[in-house]
Amino acid sequence: MKLDIGGVETIGVPVEALWKALNDPAVLTRCIPGCKTMTEIAPDAYKVELQLRVAAVGGSFEGEISLADKTPPKTCSIKVSGAGTLGHGNGSARFEIAPEGPDTSRLTFQGNGEIGGLVAGVGQRILSSVSKHLVGRFFVALRKEVETPAEGAA
Amino acid sequence: MSADPAAFRFVSTNRRVREDRRFVAGQGHFVADVALEGLLHVAILPSQHPAARIVSIDVSAALAMPGVHYVLTGDELAAATDPLMNGLDTPNVRRHPLAVGQTRYAGEWVVAVVAESRALAEDATEKVRVIYEPLPFVMTAAEALKPDSPPVHPAHGSNVLLDRTFVWGEVEKHFAASPRKLSFRVTWGRSSTVPIETFGVAASWDPWRDMLDVWASIQMPKYPDQIARALRIPANNVRVHQDVDVGGSYGVKRGIKQTVLVAHLARRLGRPVRLIEDRLENMRGGDAHGPERIFDVDVAFNDDGIVRSMKIRALDNAGAYAGRAPFQLGKPIGAIVGPYQIESVQYRAQSVTSNKAVQEAVRGFGQAPTNYAIETAIDKVAAATGLARIEVRRRNFIRKDQFPYLIPSGSTYDSGDYHTVVDKVFAHIDFASMEKERDRLRASGLLAGIGIAACLEPSGANSSFEPLLNEKNTTTTWMDSCRIVVDALGFVTVTIHNTSSGQGHETLVSTVVGEVLQIDPDLIRVIRPDSLACLPSNSPVGSRMAIMLGGAAFHAAQKLKTKLTRIGAHQFGVADDKAAYANGSVASNDKQLAWIDLVTIAHRQYHMLPEGMEPGLESTHVMQVPTGGTLPKDGRVQMYPCHSFEFHVVLMAIDPALGKPEIRRYVIGHDCGTVINPHIVKGMTLGGLAHGLGAALLEEFVYDDEGHLMTQSFMDYLLPSAHEVPEVEIVHHCTPSPFTVFGQKGSGESGYLGAPAAISAAVNDCVSPLGISFNKLPIRISASAMPSPTRNKANRKSKPNDHRLPRPSGAAEPAGIDPLAGRAIPVDPPDRGRRQPRILLRRRQADPAGVETAERSARPPEMDGRTENRASGGRRLARYVRLRSAGGGGRGLVAPDQYPSGADRDARTALRAARHRAAAGRRARRRSAARGACRGL
């Protein structure tokens, strides 16, 4: 099944700091829900291992993430593909980062994906809310990652 | 040969069903109860793609897990076994238990893992790494029919498995001569029988005896032969144990791929191996879906409603492999005119492959969809001529005095009295009062309607459709057998040579043998030997066992009775015809020999037997299907021998706000000739009705645009529950068949063969005042009633939210018409502003013609002030639905809403318009009431 994903997030760091964090595999590993490892296999291309639970079923996924069309520190395209026993998926999204204040950035993202396998067939009803939940968890973790040091410094 | 019903002692009497006791007590013996020492368990890795090349399979990580014994791939299995049997002459449509080289539907079995426990095996499937390269795929029959569609089997060249046109009679002449014609399309959605017990099979191999033992939840003709052929071993090395209870089937328990897989593993590993499908394996990859069929029908008739000719084109979506699907287009040829005197028929049967799961035989073998098309045709003729629907049926029915009646396609109907059954049902329900009740319901603001359907159940299956559709097949017999043995102590044991999936064979056979031998059926033991000890038999399919097994038991008992009589006559020194058998004794004049004396002579006193008589007491009978035995000629063949009749009347009400079809009354008139056990026939009929209700309103295997099955569990594939299944009143009639031993006909498919047609007709009568009709099953009307106008208004007011919820591509606004067929639309808008998850409703496969506008003008239904309350009820329902869905909870009211079709949405618009009209009417009435009050002052 097809899935659209998109939203706007306001994050309390300057544009450059957000850009840097989003391009840091270590940060992403900590922020992507269920991400166990993220290994660089080529410039801007990574291999990831995820351990995820969707409702009552959980499983492991292996996939690749690649970044393209980068215009630092403003826009970037991200492509994700993965497969595991619970299903497979691929998708792409476009990020745009714009300053909202002196120490605040606005991140807009828009994309779509396609999901197949067990998660699509059995998890269809909850897939949209699960994906929303996972995106939410990513940003919660990202804020914690980028905003906390600033508070410590103040 | 038929006996006088009044003279029956046990047949047709109120006797308990012998099998019920053990099932009710939980003492059935199913395949999961078969305990084998050292048993290993199988779990399956399914394909995640509708079509993909298998690039590589890495099983090393799975094999390395403790407790894992083996991982089997399609390549290894295909090298060791032959492809599964293919009934059509399509040698390049090869089917193996595990995908070879490429997968052809999402859910297809790719790898089998064998481990110490099922749980371990399941865990290990997660460690198998398969690299796929996705290929183009095709999901709908219409697409598959196009020459440029991606071929599911490239070696076959196209997706067309079968395209055969039959013309029986002067079709074109009759069409040209008929003053009235009409054409329509109806679609039967993909559903099945979905037994509670999934398929299961256990096998063990004994290399020292060269013996493969198989225990399975099976209902399959020629099952041992097919196993032997696929495994390339002699057929007498395969021993199928038939004393395994089957927890529901009605056609689909034909797990040949499962059996070949497990049998190969048992031989390969030298240990017993078992596979019991879990629900997901069963639903998506058990290859047990049912017909999915589009009918294009042309009818030629006159102003009196007399139907002279029909052209039917049936296009069936077989799924990824041929299976039994094409033949399910063939069997309905035996009753292609239903109960009507239609002079000529043109029938085009088309079967195409697609990237969906494989079809298996389903109750009626294609007859229920065909009956739905025929009955819709008759309703449309009634609408076109302005005649009552029942009047058109009465005018076209074959009359009682016309039987045996030869229909254009070559089958002779045995007997029937359709007019009397209808009269009895109408008298039982007082039809005029039912119409009044419908009108009263309409006046109260409900959509109400009556549906009727008059359908045939061909029974006593042979397999004439096989040679009819495949000239290389020359089968003209489909025998069944029975053996009776009386032991030296005088006890009677009867062997039957099939599995049972709940049809009550033990009750049937003991009743029949008891009737003939005039001994208490409860004293007769009935056993099922393993397949190597069996007489030639087929399986309990096609509504055949009352006729075929009942017939075989009757003849075997007659032979035994003759032998006993001869023994008696010999002792008395009289001619055989001067001695008579009665109640277990043989008497002549004043002399009598009791049962035990006769038994003792047969078993111990050879010197007292007539010359040349074999000692012991045993008799067998192998029975040929009555009226069968000839090959097709000129596209005509005698199909099944007997034809039961069922006449359904349904009173339905639909609350326009809730949209939930509610059956207010269900009456069925049923004539299956002489009933052998009334409880079994009643159970079959009630179960069949529930099954038909599911096909009409609830059940469907829905695939999304990306080729994934969206209804894999009972959360999404909705079975009728006690909430939906009505109380049913059965009106009996008995027109004995001249072709069977007691006048019996089949009843294993009763209810199911007419209920979908009747329920569809009732829904369409309900919505007829709105000027719409539904032409696809299942009809999921309740989605049509939501959202209410109030909720739409609230929705429009809600502000767009930056935090857009993820939503499916192509999502349309709820009130709009979906521009893209097959796309998901969100409903339940009131909560959108509050950032709550929406439920996603996904419509079924596209058919823009999902709804038809009736020729006559739409008439708004009368409504009263209750409508407003109902609208708010609709809001409550919507919330309830959302809560249930968000929690991933059960089903029930949510049920029919999940997959609204285009028809549903158009109907929603019409229903909303009706509500507006009703509200306007209320306002006008209030105004005039106020004016009247003023004048009164």
User: Which stretches within B430-501 are classed as H helix?
Assistant: 431-443, 465-469
Q: Counting runs of H as helices and runs of E as strands, what totals does chain A give?
A: 3, 7
A134 to chain B: nearest residue by CA? Answer: B806
Instruction: Return the pLDDT at A128.
Output: 81
Interface check A134 vs B, CB under 8 A: no
Measure in Å the smallest separation between the Cα of B46 and chain A Cα atoms: 9
Q: Which of the residues in chain B have pLDDT under 70?
A: 1-6, 782-937
Give the phi and the psi of residue B323 in degrees, each rounded to 5. 50, -145
Minimal Cβ distance to A85: which of B125, B715, B842: B125
Interface check B261 vs A, CB under 8 A: no
Residue pair B308/B179 in contact (Cβ under 8 Å)? The answer is: no
pLDDT digit string, tens, across residues B877-886: 333 333 333 3
What is the rounded CA–CA span in Å between residue B187 and residue B452?
19
Interface check B704 vs A, CB under 8 A: yes
Residue A100 pLDDT > 70, yes or no? Answer: yes
Q: Quick one: B691 exposed, middle or buried, by C-beta within 10 A (0-12, 13-18, 19+)?
A: buried
Instruction: Return the pLDDT at B638.
Output: 97
Query: Binning pLDDT at 50, 70 and 90, where does residue A3 land?
Result: confident
Instruction: Return the pLDDT at A116.
Output: 86
pTM: 0.85
Per DSSP, the three-state class of A56 is coil
Instruction: Name every chain B residue with its beta carbon within 8 A of the beta carbon of A128.
Output: 805-808, 837-838, 840
Kindly determine whether residue A128 and residue B709, on different chains, have CB atoms separated by under 8 Å.
Answer: no
Minimal Cβ distance to B808: which of A3, A84, A87: A3
Question: Nearest-CA neighbor of B201 among B251, B235, B241, B252?
Answer: B241
Kindly determine whether residue B708 and residue A1, on different chains, have CB atoms separated by under 8 Å.
Answer: yes
Kindly determine whether residue A8 and residue B840, on different chains, have CB atoms separated by under 8 Å.
Answer: no
Minimal Cβ distance to A60: which of B126, B839, B885: B126
Instruction: Name every chain A residue with its beta carbon within 8 A of the beta carbon of B811.
Output: 4
Interface check A93 vs B, CB under 8 A: no
Interface check A124 vs B, CB under 8 A: yes
Interface check B434 vs A, CB under 8 A: no
Instruction: Name every chain B residue with its beta carbon within 8 A of the beta carbon of A112.
Output: 809
Instruction: Return the pLDDT at A124.
Output: 77
Interface check A118 vs B, CB under 8 A: yes
Would you state the structure tokens that stand for residue B751, as one six-digit string? 């209810």
What is the rounded CA–CA span in Å between residue B424 and residue B734?
12
Name all domains of chain B by residue range, CATH numbers in brackets. Answer: 5-26+479-623 (3.30.365.10), 34-135+196-248+254-285 (3.90.1170.50), 859-934 (no CATH)
Kindly determine whether residue A124 and residue B842, on different chains, have CB atoms separated by under 8 Å.
Answer: yes
Instruction: Return the pLDDT at B933.
Output: 41
Give every strand in the sheet of B580-582, ordered side by side: B580-582, B585-588, B591-593
Minimal Cβ distance to B49: which of A59, A116, A128: A116
Identify the residue among A124, A134, A138, A140 best suited for mutation to test binding to B, counting B beta carbons within 10 A and taking the highest.
A124
Instruction: Name every chain B residue with its beta carbon within 8 A of the beta carbon of A116.
Output: 48-49, 106, 706-708
pLDDT digit string, tens, across residues A40-76: 999 889 999 988 776 666 778 889 999 999 898 899 9
Question: Nearest-CA neighbor of B720 among B772, B663, B651?
Answer: B663
Instruction: Return the pLDDT at B108.
Output: 97
Kindly determine whether residue B126 and residue A8, on different chains, have CB atoms separated by under 8 Å.
Answer: no
Instruction: Return the pLDDT at B937.
Output: 35
Would you state the structure tokens that stand for residue B659, as one six-digit string? 């949209």
B807 to chain A: nearest residue by CA? Answer: A4
Kindly determine whether residue B706 and residue A114, on different chains, have CB atoms separated by under 8 Å.
Answer: yes
What is the rounded CA–CA span in Å between residue A30 and residue A24?
10
Minimal Cβ distance to B48: which of A6, A117, A129: A117
Q: How many residue pairs bridge chain A and chain B with CB atoms within 8 Å of each other? A: 99
Minimal Cβ distance to A1: which of B808, B837, B839: B808
Instruction: Return the pLDDT at B6.
Output: 63
Instruction: Name every chain B residue with its beta carbon within 8 A of the beta carbon of A83.
Output: 48
What is the rounded CA–CA span in Å between residue B224 and residue B219?
12
Identify the residue among A51, A128, A133, A135 best suited for mutation to test binding to B, counting B beta carbons within 10 A and taking the highest.
A128
Identify the residue among B708, B713, B898 best suited for mutation to test binding to A, counting A beta carbons within 10 A and taking the highest.
B708
Measure in Å the smallest separation between the Cα of A153 and chain B Cα atoms: 31
Question: Nearest-CA neighbor of B904 among B808, B818, B779?
Answer: B779
Kindly determine whether residue B839 and residue A1, on different chains, have CB atoms separated by under 8 Å.
Answer: no
Interface check B65 vs A, CB under 8 A: no
Question: Nearest-CA neighbor of B215 among B24, B21, B361, B39?
Answer: B39
Interface check B824 vs A, CB under 8 A: yes
Interface check A5 vs B, CB under 8 A: yes
Interface check A98 vs B, CB under 8 A: no
A135 to chain B: nearest residue by CA? Answer: B806
Kindly determine whether residue A117 and residue B708, on different chains, have CB atoms separated by under 8 Å.
Answer: yes
Angstrom CA distances, B604 to B586, B597, B598, B614, B736, stand at 18, 10, 10, 12, 42
Instruction: Return the pLDDT at B381.
Output: 98
B713 to chain A: nearest residue by CA? Answer: A122
A9 to chain B: nearest residue by CA? Answer: B803
pLDDT, chain B, mean: 86
Kindly determine whether residue B106 and residue A6, on different chains, have CB atoms separated by under 8 Å.
Answer: no
Instruction: Return the pLDDT at B879.
Output: 36
Kindly determine whether residue B809 and residue A132, on different chains, have CB atoms separated by under 8 Å.
Answer: no
- How many Cβ atoms are within 10 Å of B541's Cβ, its own excluded? 26
Measure in Å the smallest separation between the Cα of A26 and chain B Cα atoms: 27
Question: Nearest-CA neighbor of B447 among B650, B657, B755, B694?
Answer: B657
pLDDT digit string, tens, across residues B46-104: 999 999 999 999 999 999 999 999 999 999 999 999 999 988 999 999 999 999 999 99
Interface check B807 vs A, CB under 8 A: yes
B131 to chain A: nearest residue by CA? Answer: A83
Instruction: Return the pLDDT at B800.
Output: 33
Kindly determine whether residue B280 and residue A6, on different chains, have CB atoms separated by under 8 Å.
Answer: no
Interface check B58 vs A, CB under 8 A: no
Interface check A76 vs B, CB under 8 A: no
Instruction: Name every chain B residue with its beta carbon within 8 A of the beta carbon of A84.
Output: 126
Helix B866-886 / helix B902-936 crossing angle, nearest 10 deg: 150
Would you state the structure tokens that stand for residue B548, as one six-digit string? 């075929």
Strand (E) or helix (H) holding B281: helix B279-285
Q: Give the strand pairing for B109-115 and B68-73.
A: antiparallel
Torsion of CA B192, B194, B195, B201, to 10 degrees: 100
Interface check A135 vs B, CB under 8 A: yes
Kindly determine whether residue A129 and residue B886, on different chains, have CB atoms separated by under 8 Å.
Answer: yes
Interface check A1 vs B, CB under 8 A: yes
Kindly determine whether residue A121 and residue B709, on different chains, have CB atoms separated by under 8 Å.
Answer: yes
Instruction: Return the pLDDT at B932.
Output: 43
Interface check A91 vs B, CB under 8 A: no
Measure in Å the smallest separation between the Cα of A38 and chain B Cα atoms: 19
Residue A107 pLDDT > 80, yes or no? Answer: yes
Would you state the structure tokens that stand for residue B854, as one six-digit string? 């009736």
What is the rounded CA–CA span in Å between residue B220 and residue B504?
17
